[in-house]
Amino acid sequence: MRTEIKNHFFDVIIIGSGVSGSVMAYELGKKGLNCLMLEAGEFFSRSNFPKKEIDGNSKLYWSGGAEFNQTANLALLRPKVVGGGSIVNQALLDRFDQNAWDDFKRNSGVNFFDQDKMSEWYQKAEQGVNQEVIPAEFRNKNAQIFADGFKANGFECAPLNRAQKNCRYSEGNDCIECLSGCKIDSKQSMLITYIKESLKQGLKLLSKFEVDQIEDKGDKVLVHGRHYKSQRKSFSCRKLVLAAGAIGNSKLLQNSNWKLPAIGHHFYTHPQFMVLGEFKEDILAHKGPFQAMKSADAGFRKKGFKLENVFAPPVGLSMLFKGFGHEHMQLMKRIKKMACIEVAVRDTQPGKISFKKGKLKIIKTLNEEDKKRRNAGIEAIEKIFSSQGAVAIHQGNLPIGLHLMGGCRIGQDDRNSVVNPEFQLHNSKNIFVADSSIFPSAPGINPSLTIMALSKKAAQGMVL
Amino acid sequence: MISTHFSKLQLRGLNRLGDVVIPGDHDFPSFSSLKLDDHVDRILDHMNDDDRSGLKIVMSLFAFLPKFFIFFILWITEKAEGESFLASQLRLVNTGLKGVIFTLYYSNLNSKSEIIHQVMEWDANINDYPDEGDEMQQYTDEALSGESQKYFDTIMDAHKIREISRNAEPKLRSLSIDSRLRYISRLKEVILNKREMIIDRIQADNGKSRTDALVSEIFGVLDHLAWLEKYAAKALADEKVPTPVSLLGKSSKIYYEPMGTVLIISPWNYPFYQAIVPITASFVAGNAVIYKPSEVTPLTGLIEELLQAADFQPSWVQVAYGEGKMGADLIDQRPDKIFFTGSVATGKKIMAQASQYLIPVELELGGKDPSIVFEDANLERAVRGVLWGALTCTGQSCTSVEQVYVHESIYDKFKKMLLGEVSKIRQGTDSNGEGEIGRMTAHSQTKIVAEHLQDALDKGASLLFGDSWDRETDLIPPLVLENLQKNMLMVQEETFGPIVPLQKFSSEQELIDELNESKYGLSASIWSADKQRCDRVSRALKTGNVSINNVMLTEGNHNLPFGGVKDSGIGRYKGVHGLRAFCHSKSVLIDGNSSKCEVNWFPYTEKKYKSFDKMMVSLFSGGIGNFVKFALTGVGLESYSDKIAKK
């Protein structure tokens, strides 16, 4: 009995095991702190990641696959699994450009939002995971159409840099299978990098534990929640790290009656619109490293969008199309002839997350500027497909949001921000946040690497 | 068709919807032909309750609607444009319905549906190199939670629990006694209806025989609840008490008020009775309750379930699971009263901790209860009574008979009769009532019984029955011993097992003197035809409870308070005394709102002193004359005091 008492009070509890939570756990554990990580999702590893799309959707995401905004025209994909977004993403690692940092700085007044000042943290973040550029010889036809179409239209594109380690394409591995977790431990997810190392350092990890309330008592922070379907339990700690993402953090703070007016505001998602180009010949976009190229066009950046070389598995594709019945079945049979590019909008219209009486309500719409950006992107995609001889173009019916950012934005003023430049909640020095929820605006660039860099910085500054 | 969420009807609805969304053609099979409804729980298990309920309603509807109607509904939802409320809802329905069907159809869930991916030429594949092992496989959900269980259960925050109880206190205080008793009546009904399930749970955790569970726990609890229904309102009503003549014109009352939050810490021997009885007594008195069961017999979730079924709000009675640390943490949260039943050692610790905060404690601790059989006792009755008293609940009651004193003139006869009866006792945790004594609840206690037995045998006692026991198994047979000596553990300490130690005695007075030397004093039983002797002995014994020509039966009458003296405990519970033990008695003296000044108030004068003295002497000297004197002096003093005060 006696020897266990030390464990009852944690130095730090980390809520969420995604990119931010994992990096923080690692850095804090390295300092010798006794950490507990609480994750609502299940624990999977390479040998038991879901193999069927049905389970990949229902077991790795909140609400059985997708959540919707209030107007039901944006599907929000919010991972719920040990490792968070790093389990289901495509492991794209990009640094923010000066434009994104300037925008961040303007919207927050935070001084270190600067390419030079963040460079040290980016370097540290990049050291933690292995990166590879997809070799040109393994590009599939979808990627080829992307590259050729860009060239034909004078757009700039570049091969993709991904956090992976030997996908063994020559053996016929198709990365699309790893959207529900990489079965060969190539994708450098948090699970096999920072979480693995943290567990070795002594991190306590509790999966299937959903936190629903937190309280700062001054000398300690209490964390209340439920382990799977059992009784409500509580933990206490000296410092708390919120790393449950934009929606998770906002929901938790609102449910805990946190008194900061900006909680849940300034929510961005980089709304993504997939467009399929149908060709006469087979494209087989699902083969190999299905995402190999990225747009690197300064004009696109200026106009506020980027194009991505993407594809989706069958259920995901079926949801893209309008219609049902025979019309639908005919389309599905022609999937093999389809290439796909999506436009990701750097959204300017802030959304709002609210959680009242146990119900999540997300308002997220597109303003005229956002629509203009989307339309410009779609126009570019149409040009690309046409230049490559597409016979038809099918615009996706269901936009998705999977870069969930904001809701607890960082800033100087507690009237319009939630987190201070030291990554603490304005009204609680014991609670730290460094995940994408602190983003003050939409950067228009994949957030993963920046979350890692910010988390490294936040962990370093944390003093018990 | 298997689903824990959808009924057969709803699955029919699902298949009908499926065939509208995917009717099939020469390449694609129709939805319903693939028997995909077997897999629908793979989606439903992970859905929100709201979404799932919505789907259920729609599927029930689709089970009956003509297919063209289903088609029409889908067609309308497809047409939703814009961001109006209606359009948004329609779109949500559309995505939800198509989502379920497509997810089942395109996920390649059975051999029949393989054809779909073949038609699509979808052959995405990954070689997962099983030979290379999976280093992370050691951390499964179960392994992680098992590892955390250590710091998980015991860490349930005592502070939070106390805060919840504190917030519940005003509401409970404001509930009238009648409305509190309505909850008690509902609880009685719930327990009566669920008694078989409760007995199963008691047996699973505690191991006692089914009849023991029925009689001592269920019957005992129902009897207590019925007592509350009948007597509690009266016991807790405001009580008017006499006001002395010197305070003429005033009246006096006692209010029995809730204390706030009562912390109840219970043992493992009667896990149900020792939960419900103190919980309900505290609750009826208007208190919030924090109940900490023994970690050996937590009956996890049962108490909450029953209370919830009786409409108790969760904050009124909270169950705090955990080991001793949890109890200590809860005491640090300063409950207003601690009610503890258990061992002397733990009782002392609790009282020491409570003393730091001056929390009143009620301690129901152990005993070494004697049964005394006199020469004129009805032996057949005494033998059966002693055996039951020693062996019920496998001897694990605080009031179990642990010493049997038989008058030397009848000792041999008594012994013979007892050995004849004991051989008929059947052991085991039975399921049908055909068994007398169950297993020991905690193996740690089994070890103590073995230790006491060995010590007794080493020091010269002889084992008359129970030699078959291997000293290891928790299924201990009745152990009948004789030739016991004062220095044996079995005579000195509480054994808490199925023991029947027989001792001879010759003199009543010597026996009483000897028994009164014991550090314990919980209860005793006396067997004799001589009523005077029974009365004499029952008064002479330093103990809390005495049953005459019966055993352990004071507990059978809920009007009688229960508790021990010396190391057996502090305080009384049950009965009117016991109910009021969960109250603060508030004294109230009521006087009129007059302008009059009291004689004992300032100012003091020499004249006042002398009159007061005269009045006091006449009041306490007795006799009519003195009383008249008292009255006259009093009246004079009163008017004098009033006058000088207002000068």
Residue in B120, B128, B155 closest to A46 by CB: B128
Q: What percent of chain B has pLDDT over 90?
A: 79
- The yes-or-no verdict on residue B149 having pLDDT over 60 is no
d(CA A404, CA B485): 79
Chain segment B460-511, per-residue pLDDT in tens: 999 999 999 999 899 999 999 999 999 999 999 999 999 999 999 999 999 9
Residue, of A281 and B622, whose pLDDT is higher:
A281
What pLDDT is attached to residue B433? Answer: 87
Measured between beta carbons, which residues in chain A are less than 8 angstroms from residue B71?
A: 325
Of the candidates B169, B217, B362, B364, the residue annotated as catalytic is B364
Domain B369-563 has CATH 2.60.40.10: no
Domain with CATH 3.40.309.10 in chain B: 369-563
pLDDT beyond 80 at B147: no
Consecutive H or E run containing B87:
helix B85-106
Model confidence at B172, pLDDT cuts 50, 70, 90, reads: very high
What letter does residue B416 receive in the DSSP assignment?
H
The one-character DSSP state at B131 is G
Averages of pLDDT over each 10 residues, chain A, 464 residues: 43 97 96 93 92 94 93 96 95 94 96 95 92 89 96 95 90 92 94 94 90 90 82 84 98 95 97 97 94 94 96 95 94 96 97 91 96 97 96 94 97 96 95 98 96 97 84
**Would you state the torsion angle of the CA atoms of residues A354, A356, A358, A360, taken in this order, to the nearest 10 degrees?**
-20
- Which of B72, B128, B300 is best to mutate for the A interface (most A CBs within 10 A)? B128
Strand-pair partners of B480: B465, B500
DSSP assigned state of B454: H
Tally DSSP H helices, then E strands, for chain A: 14, 23
pLDDT at site B597: 85
Alpha helical stretches, state H, B35-84: 41-44, 49-62, 67-78
Closest to B89 measured CA to CA, from A278, A198, A454, A73: A73
In chain A, the residue whose alpha carbon lies closest to the alpha carbon of B109 is A52
Min Cα distance B23 → chain A (Å) is 6
Q: What is the CATH number of domain A1-43+94-128+190-268+404-464?
A: 3.50.50.60
Task: For residue B208, give every residue at least 6 positions away whose Cβ sits within 8 Å of its Cβ, in sequence order, or none.
Answer: B202, B393, B394, B396, B429, B437, B438, B439, B441
pLDDT of residue B645: 87
Nearest-angstrom CA–CA distance, A295 and A304: 12
Contact A54 B22 (CB under 8 A): no
Q: A313 with A176: CB under 8 angstroms?
A: yes
A219 touches chain B (CB under 8 A): no
Closest by CA position to B83, among listed A120, A399, A131: A399
Q: Interface pTM (ipTM) of the complex?
A: 0.95
Query: Alpha-carbon distance B514 to B493, whole Å?
Result: 15
Write down the pLDDT at residue A300: 97
pLDDT at res. A226: 84
Strand order, beta sheet including B251-258:
B239-241, B251-258, B583-590
The beta-carbon neighbor of A329 closest among B22, B107, B141 is B22
Q: What is residue B242's predicted lDDT score, i.e. its pLDDT? A: 95
Alpha-helix residue ranges (DSSP H) falling in A65-153:
85-88, 98-108, 115-127, 141-152
pLDDT digits (tens, 9 = 90+) for B512-561: 999 999 999 999 999 999 999 999 999 999 999 999 999 999 999 999 99
Is the predicted pLDDT of residue B150 greater than 70, yes or no?
Answer: no
- Helix B273-284 and helix B302-309: axis angle, to 10°? 40
Q: Whose CA is closest to B365, among B401, B328, B398, B392?
A: B398
- C-alpha dihedral over B141, B145, B146, B147, to 10 degrees? 110
| Bridge partners, A268 (sequence order) | A405
Query: Which of B147, B155, B305 to mutate to test binding with chain A, by most A CBs within 10 Å of its CB?
Result: B155
Cα–Cα distance, B382 to B468 (Å, whole number): 26
- Give the whole-angstrom CA distance, residue B364 versus residue A435: 54
Task: Say whether residue A174 is in contact with chain B using an 8 A CB cutoff.
Answer: yes
Q: What is the DSSP letter of B522?
A: S
Instruction: Check if B597 is active-site.
Output: no
Task: Please tell me the CATH code under which domain A132-176+270-401 is placed.
Answer: 3.30.410
Report which of residues B240 and B5 the model is more confident about.
B240
Q: Report the CATH superfamily, name and number, of domain B153-364.
A: Aldehyde Dehydrogenase; Chain A, domain 1 (3.40.605.10)
Q: Is B364 a catalytic residue?
A: yes
pLDDT at B609: 94
Same fold, A1-43+94-128+190-268+404-464 and A132-176+270-401: no
**Is-contact A431 A424, C-beta < 8 A?**
yes
Question: In the prediction, which pLDDT does B128 show?
Answer: 82
- The pLDDT of residue A6: 37
Question: Where in chain B are all domains bearing CATH 3.40.605.10?
Answer: 153-364
Q: Residue-wise over A286-307: b if at least 16 C-beta within 10 A, else e?
A: bbbbbbbbbbbbeebbebbbbb
pTM of the model: 0.61
What residues does each domain of chain A span?
A: 1-43+94-128+190-268+404-464, 132-176+270-401
Tally of CB atoms within 10 A around A437: 33
List, for residues B179-224, the tens digit of each pLDDT value. 999 999 999 999 999 999 999 999 988 999 999 999 999 999 999 9
Q: Are B633 and B614 in contact (CB under 8 A)?
A: yes
Total Cβ atoms within 10 A of residue B424 = 8
B397, pLDDT greater than 90? yes
Catalytic one of B362, B393, B398, B436: B398
Q: Are strands A305-309 and A338-345 parallel, antiparallel or unpaired?
A: antiparallel
Confidence of residue B142 (pLDDT cuts 50, 70, 90): confident
